[in-house]
Structure formats: C-alpha cells, structure tokens
Amino acid sequence: MAGLHIKNAFVIDPLSGVKGEIMDISIRDGKIVEDAPPGAEIIDAAGCLTLPGGIDSHSHVCGTKVNFGRYMSPEDMRAGRTARKGVMHVTSGYSVPTTFGNSYRYSTMGYTTILEGAMAPLEARHTHEEFTATPHQDMLANTLFDGNWSIMEAVKEKDDKRAAAVVAWTLSAVKGFAIKLTNPGGTEAWGWGEDMSSIHDQVPNFGVTPAEIISTMIRANELLHLPHSVHLHCNNLGVPGNYRTTLETIDLVPDLNKDRQSLYLTHAQFHSYGGTTWRDICSKSEEIARAVNNKPQVVMDMGQILFGRTTTMTADGPMEFKLYMLHHNKWSNHDVELETGSGIIPVYYGRKSLVNCVMWSIGLELALLTKNPWQCLLSTDSPNGAPFVKYPEIIALLMSRKFRDSERKMIDPRTEHLVPLFALDREMDWYEIAVMTRAAQAKALGITRIGKGQLSPGAEADVAIYPLRPDEIDPSADYQQVMAGFSRTLFTIKRGRVVARDGVVVVEGANSTIWTKANVPPAYDMGADPEFTRKFEQYYTVRMSNYPVQDVYLPRGVRIETEASL
Amino acid sequence: MRVVLKTRPRVKPKIPIEAEEIIPQNFLRKNDMKVFEGNKERALDDLFFVTVEGPAVSPDQVEVILTGDTGVVKRVGEYMNAGRIIVEGDIGMHCGNFMSAGEIIIRGNADAWLGREMRGGRILCEGDAGHYCAAGYRGEKRGMRGGTIEVKGNTGDFTAEYLSGGEVLIHGSTGDLPGVEMRGGTLWIGGGCSRPCGNMTGGTCMVFGEVKSMLPTFIRSGLQDMEFQGEKHQMRVYLGDVANRGKGTLLTRN
C-alpha cells in the first residue's frame, strides 16, 4: 500500500503533547511514520484542524436491543433515507439507523472507533454480526456483568479472585472488551419483581448489595489488568435526588491504577438530579463535578441530552419501566437469563418541558464544571440523550457562551432558577474539545497501547481533517460554522486509507473488533471449574460448549492480552 | 390552470408507478418532474400525456386531472397543500399522504392507505377504498390529524386507525377493526362493521349499520337520538375502551 502524506495540517494531538501546530503527517501501511514513502498520495490540509480519529467511548449502535429499537420504531425509518450510491449501501433511520447508516454518519463526522455500551454476553453473537456490518469503525464491546449470578455468588463469598476468573472466562468467551455494570443488582432485583432505591439495599435471593458488586468488580478488574476500568451505569438512573447515590458510588472508588481511572461513570447527566419528584427536580451538577474534581481516579462522560426525538435503550429494565409509566407509549422489556435485562422506549425531549430543560443544562454544566477535560468526555449515550449526529451541536455549545445564551431564550424560562449553567463563563478551546472527543477516550479505554487516539509515529493512522481553520474562526462567535465543520470532515482516514471525503463515503471499509483476553492460571480457568460448569449446565438454556462466540464471528479480531495476577 | 395527465400505454402495465411529485404546486414550479416506474426513474412525460391549459399564479388555481389506467399510480397528492386533483378512474395506494390542504376527488375506487396521516384538506372517493383508509402508518401513534375524508362506497379493514383529528365519513360498510386506537376526531360509518374502536382513547365513532363482534370492553351509557342522511336513528352510547382507560365514545344503532 502506498502511503499518504498530509501537509500543512493544524494538528492537535493531546496524547503526544501537540497543542496546535502546523505540521505534516506521514502514513505508511496503516501506521503513522516519520517520513512518507516515495509516491505517497499528498493531501493538502491547508491549515485545517486535524485530529486523531474520533473515539466514542459509550454509544449504542449494535446488538439485540438496538435492533429491537429498530423493530419497534418503524416510523424512525422514515427519516434519514439515502439511496445506494457508489460503495454506500442504502441507509435509513434517525435515532436507531441501520448499521451502515451508523457507520457512514460516524465516518463523515471523523469517528473511527466506537465502544458499544452494553452487550449481553448471551446475545454476543448478534452484536458481533452487527459489528461486521459497521465497517468504518473499529468496534469494542462492553460486556454486561451487572446481574451475573456467578459474579454475585463470588461477591457474596467475598472472593475477588473468583469474580475476576468469571470475568476473564466470559470476556474471552464472548469476545468482549471491558466490564459494564448497568444498575448493578437492580436489573436482577427487577427480574424478581422488586426495585432497589440505594446501593446499600440487598439484591433479593443473593444477599449482596450494589456497593459490594461495584467494589468487588473494580478490584477484580485490576487483578486482571484489563485495559479499561469498570464501566459503570450507576443505580437510580433518572430518579430525582439520585445525585446522592452517585456521590456514594464515587466515594467507593479506590485508586488502583496509575495509568488510568479506576472507575468510568457513564452518562453522568442522568445521575445528577436533585429534588424529590419530577416537580421539584433541580441540577446537582456542581456536587458531582466537585466530587469528580477531587477524585482523579474517576472519569465520566456527559450523557448530554439534546432536544428532539430519540429512542432510549438500556440494560436498566426498571428505569425504562418508570419512563413507560410517564409516557404510556411503546415499551419493550427483556430479560437475559442469569445475566441482565434491558428496556427500550421512544422519547421526545422538548424545550417546553422543564424537566428536559434541566436535563439539558446538567450535561453541559458537568463538562464545564469539570476542571480537567480528561475527566469528562463528550457523549450523548447515543441514542439515549440524542443520536450521535448531534455531537457537533454539543461541541458548539461548549465552545460558545453566546450559543448557550441564544438557547436560553428558547427553553422554559423557569430553568435558569434551577441550574447554574447560565452563570458559567467557561468556553472550551480546540484543545479541550480534542481531548474530550478522542484523546481522553483513548486513555480512559486503555487503547493508547494499540495506537489509538494519537498521531505520533507508530500509532494507528486514524485521522480526521475538519474544514475549520482555528486561526481564522472565533468559535465563541461563529458557532454555526463550528457545528457545520464538525458535522462533516474534509477527510476521514482510517488505518491509512481515506474512507470519507466531504461527507461522502468512498470505500467499503473493513473494521476490526478489539477484545481482551486475560490469561489466568489454570486453577482459575472457569472453563474447567467443576462448580461453575455444573451451575452453567443446570441453569442456562444453552450448553456451555455452545456459549462462546466462535472466531468466525470476528473476521478481523484484535486481541489485547493481559496477564492476570491471581 | 388545468393539467390533464393521461397515462400512456405501457409494455408492462402492471408495474406500479410511484408519483409523489404529482401535486398541484409542482406544476407551477417544476419542469422536470420525475416518477418511478418500478425501480426505474422516468420523466413524467415518458409515462403520461401531459396537457396544460390556462395560466395560474398560485397553486390554488391548479387543477390536475388524471385519466387512463391510474389504478397503479401510487402516492398521488403526497404532501399536497393547495389546489385540486381529480382522478377520473381508480387510484393506487397512498393517495393523499400527509396532505394539508386542497382537494382530491376520486371518481373510481381507491387502493389502501387513502389519506394516511392527512393533516387537512378534503378527499372524496366516489367508489370503494381499500384497507387502512384514513389511518396512521407503521409505528406512528397519530394518524389522520385534520381535514375530511368521504367515501361513498365501502372500505377495508383498519379504517381510521389511529385517527386523532378531522372527520371520516364512510357511506358504506367497513371491514374489521375500524377506528382502532382512535384518539380524537369523528368517524361515521353508514353501513356495518366488525369489532369497532378497539383500544380507543378519545374521539367519537358512529355506526349506523350492523355491528358484528362488539368488543366487551365498552360501557353502556344510555341512548341518544341522531340523524344521519335524513333518517332518524336511536343510538346506543358506549364509552371506552375501558381496557386502556379510554375516554372515547362509540354509538351504535339500537
């Protein structure tokens, strides 16, 4: 493969310490190199903003629940229709688009790596199949362990090593990337018809609390030396007054890893509500941001909502039921045997709804109040807060106070009494945006070791060139231009190949799926553990030998191996 | 302005034509209207003899007349917001989708989805209409929201499904499940029907013919006298559908 030479690029590469310099980037064989090979194709970036390929550290794009969102919302498929054109497949859908729709839209926004936020282990095959149909991004799958019976039994016995061994076996069986806990214990309790209101309540039939599950899993994660930390969706999502649960959870986190955080709090916006009911909801973003500022071992993502129509989908079944009781619209609920559950409903976030306006403000406040941009990443928990195609709007809101003030005139006027947003002057700069959309994600996910999120020689050649000249644009005034620029790259380069140009996808794409395998000593190999095997055969409706995802489901798997200290 | 569109003879006359561009306002603005024949894009002239008579300055003054073998022409009048369309014969599926104003008159029969999710305006069908007349579409919780649809003949199943506004008047009978999931608006059925108004939460439905398989989830609440097409009827009043805490009204002939 001949190389590629990008000249006159305005590069921001936080992980390599480049904070905005005009420089050249050379690419050869899918890697960044010092000098371009002879005969390399030359791209003139002409001073345009050039960043490492975007990384979404929490998004729902593939898997059974996304697909169920598609079944449930045929009306969603009326939007976003594009015809087949060149190498592009037909696409349709807005909040739950087709897999190719997801892939092309991410690609034209400069995103090259996506983490699927929640994969039920039992349904992993389908997720991997959809990964191969999302051809422009490297995919990672967070694997759900929140209601895993073997894990809860290990937690009850206070056996961190056994919990770690179950995680190691499951991750390598289903080709997952990291541990995801969604409302730990709560989804399982919901399966028994009960609800939990605090992280110190006991899960029925198991005698463990969510706090114990979280603490054990954080320690087990570090015993296995997994690249990513525990990825936690806190308990009590979307419940007014839930910020206390979130603060209690943040207090649980030890500092166990010097390279990255020990806990990743996802969609923090949904977990920062004050008040007692929907009538007196208010923002507690200041408390949450203060707690995170004081705890460098915690990283969160915004979970911003944006006004409009979308579909919520989560493994948090009970919370979706509560939302259903508010809306009385379509609702789906699903139980995954011995593992987890899920729920899906379509929603509309309106500017006329005070609750929605408060939610909208909280997400932005979290980002603006967190001092260190490496600790608050940009996300919408797509599509729960808004479809990912609206990321540019969030970037513009963070970069421009003027834009926030113009939005203020459009939303419910009571909002400003309940939120601190409009008192915040902070306007983010290009560097901070680069951190919040790729570098911090790469660091938090621990994939810098395989060359993600950076442009230094040896790194993966994932590059996004946006039609924005940082020396000419004042983002606080020209926010419309910022939004347009981030929506559509001049060039998106994936593994050294131009995959999208000016919003048009130009190649078929061939992604890889990144998964982790923690090597454990034979004594901790759950595949040979008589107790684990007996329970598996007794309780699951599938045989243990049929459970692992075969390699054929990962045509281009990338395995990250770690040596567990068990 | 009067535009006459007469279908040209085709080698394969059964291949459907998708003609969402046939709306009055387009004849003022556009010269290169496209329609699909199957999966092939064609110019309007390739499939129709087009005759234009007289001037017009606004779409209100445009009258489009469709003649010939129009039963395979789909999506005529989609998003129409002014003017008038007269179909001399039958019309294909999805006629008057999302129309918000203007008038469509069909001299023959209409196929399924006549006036789906209509917002306003008027549709008159002098023959029969197919299934899902005046209904919502897949997944959409609000169907027809305004305007009037009048069908002189019979209609198929799921007439006025998800009706949430406007008026639907069926002179003949309907098939199974008319007014199902209704949430507003008015539905008149001159003839009979079966299982009307399942899961309705609002609106009013009147059936002047025989009702087969009345659903058990409606509560009787008295009698009422009504007049329909010059005849007086005594009607039983039902409220429901109580299975879904509905507050709709269903009237059937006593």
Query: Structural domain boundaries of chain B?
Result: 1-108, 138-254
Rounded Cα distance between B76 and B97, Å, is 8
Confidence of residue A128 (pLDDT cuts 50, 70, 90): very high
Handedness of CA A380, A384, A388, A393 (dihedral sign): negative
pLDDT, residue B161, reads 95
Chain B 200-219, residues with CB within 8 Å of chain A CB atoms: none
Chain A residues lying within 8 Å of B139, measured CB to CB? 72-76
**What are the Cα distances from residue A277, in Å, to A225, A282, A356?**
41, 10, 14
Q: Does the distance separating the beta carbons of A74 and B141 come in below 8 Å? A: no
Would you state the pLDDT for residue A137?
96
pLDDT digits (tens, 9 = 90+) for A521-563: 999 999 999 999 999 999 999 999 999 999 999 999 999 999 9
Q: Which residues of B touch A329 (CB under 8 A)?
A: 141
CB contacts of B140 in chain A (<8 Å) are 75
Q: What is the pLDDT of residue A507?
A: 93
Which domains occur in chain A, in start order? 4-52+454-505 (2.30.40.10), 116-449 (3.20.20)
Structure tokens of A44? 């003139």
Provide the angle, in degrees to the nearest 10, between the axes of the packed helices A530-539 and A149-156: 140
pLDDT given at position B29: 82
Interface test with B, best of A68, A70, A73, A75 (most B CBs within 10 A): A75
Q: Which of residues 124-163 of B touch A (CB under 8 A)?
A: 137-141
Contact B138 A75 (CB under 8 A): yes
| Residues of chain A with C-beta less than 8 angstroms from the C-beta of B141 | 329
Q: Are strands B219-228 and B248-253 parallel, antiparallel or unpaired?
A: unpaired
| Contact between chains at B139 and A329 (C-beta distance less than 8 A) | no
- Whether B139 sits inside 8 A of A73 (CB atoms) is yes
Residues in A closer than 8 angstroms to B137, CB to CB, are: 74-75, 78
The verdict on A76 touching B (C-beta cutoff 8 Å) is: yes
Distance CA A337, CA A191 (A): 10
Residue numbers in A near B246 (CB within 8 A): none
Range scoring the smallest mean pLDDT among A28-42, B99-113, B124-138 = A28-42
Token reading at A276: 């007692």
Q: Tokens 């973003």 identify what position?
A: A285
Q: What is d(CA A276, CA A524) in angstroms, rounded to the nearest whole number? A: 46
Render pLDDT for A417-452 as a digit per residue (tens, 0 to 9).
999 999 999 999 999 999 999 999 999 999 999 999
| Cα A128–Cα A133–Cα A134 angle in degrees, nearest 5 | 95
Residue B67, beta-bridge partner list: B6
Strands (E), A376-512: 376-377, 463-465, 491-494, 497-501, 504-505
Question: Which chain B residues are closer than 8 Å to A74 by Cβ?
Answer: 137-139
Which residue in B36, B138, B164 has the most chain A C-beta atoms within 10 A of its own C-beta, making it the best mutation to test that interface?
Answer: B138
Query: What integer is the mean pLDDT of A333-348?
Result: 92
Cα–Cα distance list, A211 to A234, A290, A315, A534, B254 (Å):
10, 21, 18, 28, 65
- With an 8 Å Cβ cutoff, are B141 and A329 in contact? yes
Angle at B249 between CA B245 and CA B253, to 5 degrees: 135
State the smallest CA–CA distance between residue B131 and chain A in angstroms.
19
> Using one digit for the tens of pLDDT, what is the confidence trace for A144-201?
999 999 999 999 999 999 999 999 999 999 999 999 999 999 999 998 989 899 999 9
Residue A1 binned pLDDT confidence (cut-offs 50, 70, 90): low
What is d(CA B30, CA A249) in angstroms, rounded to the nearest whole number? Answer: 62
Residue B30 has pLDDT above 80, yes or no: no
Chain B contact present for A75, CB below 8 A = yes
* Beta-strand runs (E) in A435-556: 463-465, 491-494, 497-501, 504-505, 513-519
pLDDT tens column, A64-92: 999 999 999 999 998 889 989 889 999 99
Share of chain A above pLDDT 70, in %: 100
pLDDT of residue A23: 94
Span B73-96, average pLDDT? 96
> Per DSSP, what are the bridge partners of residue A50?
A11, A465
3-state secondary structure (DSSP) of residue B165? strand
**Contact by Cβ (8 Å): A115, A58:** yes
Query: According to the model, what pLDDT value does residue B232 have?
Result: 93
CA angle A314–A232–A450, rounded 5-degree value: 105
Name the band, by pLDDT with cuts 50, 70 and 90, for residue A510. Answer: confident
Find the residue in A nearest to B39 (Cα).
A83
Segment A195-222, tens digit of pLDDT: 899 999 999 999 999 999 999 999 999 9
Per-residue pLDDT tens for A291-337?
999 999 999 999 999 999 999 999 999 999 988 988 888 899 999 99
Q: How far is B210 from chain A (nearest CA, A)?
A: 33
Rounded mean pLDDT of chain A? Answer: 94
Question: ipTM of this predicted complex?
Answer: 0.79
Rounded mean pLDDT, B115-123? 95
- For residue A324, count CB atoms less than 10 angstroms from its CB and return exposed for 0-12, middle for 13-18, buried for 19 or more: middle
How do residues B225-235 score in pLDDT, each as one tens digit?
999 999 999 99
